[in-house]
Structure 1
């Protein structure tokens, strides 16, 4: 069985008894219950699925991917709540910024369709994270919010998204495909679009396989140009370029015709810093 947040907590010397004593916490009872029930949730997550409620997906992701960095803090309840909330805000943000991850809605007949403008829950998220510019770290929930119980994630879409954005897949077939795309970007800037070969298939482990479409050459070129402009000489002791104030405006100015979502996607893939909260090491 995969490691869970409970097993990581025990490995790091955390106290299960302290969690049990806090199980009746007025706002954290759901999150603490997830941790204590980690084995069952991990077993559930391993079962085949096609569509899954965002609420269920996030609970499983929290159990399987989160780090118990909060356990050694005196304010551990507040930090635990923040860790859980960021699982939601991160997922919602990437689904709204044109990075390829989609949310779905279940129709009355049991079929599924893409969620988008005009759907109540999608519009709520758009106002919250795009119009009101709520940051990932400012979002605050300690139990599944209403929108997460109405929107779904698709398994194949999530696998494809992970293949492109996950920084820990370098030695896999998916990772080799992403590396090929970056090589294509260099060829595009060097020789022009006509000489970029068409990518082949990305084969996932059974029982699924999908074909990844040819990426937009201008988006690839923008990624390389952005890396050269902002990250080529950047080191961790330097001030980090700000997406909203510097990087995205530069992309929109230098690549006419790009939408805000295009620029946000370019910014994310060009960035050398891992922004996924589930992979960050906390003090």
Structure 2
């Protein structure tokens, strides 16, 4: 079943243009690393987009692609060796490449849950500073660049909120209460025992819905991601729509989560 929000916005999703961003100047602090310098040289006029990052992965430059996806996603950075970008840049290159290649194999076989668990397990794919909001960015670009049948959309703060709103939209209220541990405004936290299953369900649903309205999973995910509320304060912004829907449900049903 297609959520009413997607059904009602089919046209805007289809025509939405890809967003292109300026690489924030804060990342210039890291150009003493070859890989960051390479990213700046690839990105003309310091512009970065999903397409540009995807092309880097298509050229089989997985190491460069990984950091391009992190910078595109706005990974935390302050240049003092304690931020997440610094931690990842200090990670041994050969080990990082081995992790990416293993994840790529799992995704090529459609083993989304295994890939998620691998990236969360110490001694396997766990990397200090790399949480699910960012390793699912890696998943997305690997699937997109290699044209895998199942594309894994990014699962971050805003798409988690969208997922919760879609459960309610589809009348899956019991499932919503079963998997959600807490909600604070737009911040969603899923119960530990359901996190992997929730992500896999999100992936399956997004692929199904994108196919149903004949758009790419990337386009659908980018649309539901919405716009920074400081830029778009209107109630047509998906971020505001989903936050209102979820919190209205909690209030009306007096659900304590």
- TM-score, normalised to structure 2, is 0.38
Larger helix proportion of the pair:
2
Q: Normalising by structure 1, report the TM-score.
A: 0.35
